[in-house]
Copies of this chain bind each other. A is one copy, B any other.
Amino acid sequence: MSQQFIHTFLSVDCVVLGFDNEQLNALLVKRDVSVEEAGSLKLPGSLIYDQEDVDDAASRVLFELTGIKKMPLRQFRCFASPNRASRAEDRKWLNQAYQPNINRLITVAYIALCKIDRKHHNISKYSSEWCPLKKIPQMPFDHNEILLASLGEIQKWVEMEPSIIFDLLPQKFTISQLHRLYESIYAKKIDIRNFHKKVAAMPQVVALEEREVGVAHRAARFYKFDKKGYSKLKNNL
């Protein structure tokens, strides 16, 4: 009776998104062993420890693989198809990277938003790199599926908690950066005049005196996200 129940390893995988003023990028790690068949780039992820909550594991793994700390991480789904780790090359890699005879692997997927200029040290045996969403290669396991699913989640997340979008932008940003970011996330055109109006109505976005320099057109004004103003706003609801 008892062996019919699953007894398994559990992993976390993180979809870390960054914005390069043009498009959304995902942070992928390069595996040191060459498993060409399934591609060597994958989502940052690893097995969780024995006495560890999954949420803690996600933070830890992200730090270990990319050097990134204190990222807002959001759990969004458990991927548990019985076949998700059954391709020969994936099993081979699991055996090399962890231990033999991992028969099945269930993963809990997370999303995180990251400033793309943030340094991601290459701490471990992995190196990490930003990859534009349009150029995502074939990845091992169901990582392509996980990434795809995460894109729907981020829209919902931003709608629920609009302030997180500023985690994708540098400290100082222009309205058009913010505009392009909104257009990327919602994957649609947003009228620029209505957008200015909308931003003007956000007390947490404050204009700075500083402007762009050295651009071959009218210099754009910089804005910053005012966390304090934002929490005040929230508390007054």
Residues of chain A whose beta carbon lies under 8 Å from any beta carbon of chain B: 1-10, 47-55, 75, 77-78, 80-82, 98-99, 104, 106, 108, 156, 160
Contacts and interface: CB of A to CB of B under 8 A. Distances in A.
Contact of A53 (B1, B82, B98, B156): B82
A99 B3 CA distance: 10
Contact of A52 (B7, B51, B82, B160): B82
A64 B78 CA distance: 22
A82 to B, nearest CB: 5
Nearest to A54: B80
Contacts of A3: 50
B6 A10 contact: yes
A2 B106 CA distance: 17
A100 B50 CA distance: 18
Nearest to A103: B50
Contacts of A2: 98-99
Given A106-B54, A108-B78, A7 B9 contact: yes
Contacts of A156: 156, 160
A166 to B, nearest CB: 22
Given A82-B52, A104-B50, A5 B98 contact: yes
Given A54-B80, A78-B78, A6 B49 contact: yes
Given A5-B50, A10-B106, 17 more contacts: A1-B99, A4-B49, A4-B50, A5-B49, A6-B47, A6-B52, A10-B80, A48-B80, A50-B104, A51-B82, A53-B80, A53-B81, A54-B106, A55-B80, A75-B77, A78-B78, A156-B156
Given A10-B10, A77-B75, A106-B54, A5 B47 contact: yes
A5 B82 contact: no
Contacts of A50: 3-6, 104
A81 B75 CA distance: 14
B9 A48 contact: no
14 contacts: A3-B50, A4-B50, A5-B49, A5-B98, A6-B10, A6-B47, A6-B48, A6-B50, A10-B10, A10-B80, A50-B104, A55-B80, A75-B78, A78-B78
A74 to B, nearest CB: 11
- Nearest 4 interchain pairs by C-beta: A54-B80, A2-B99, A5-B47, A51-B82
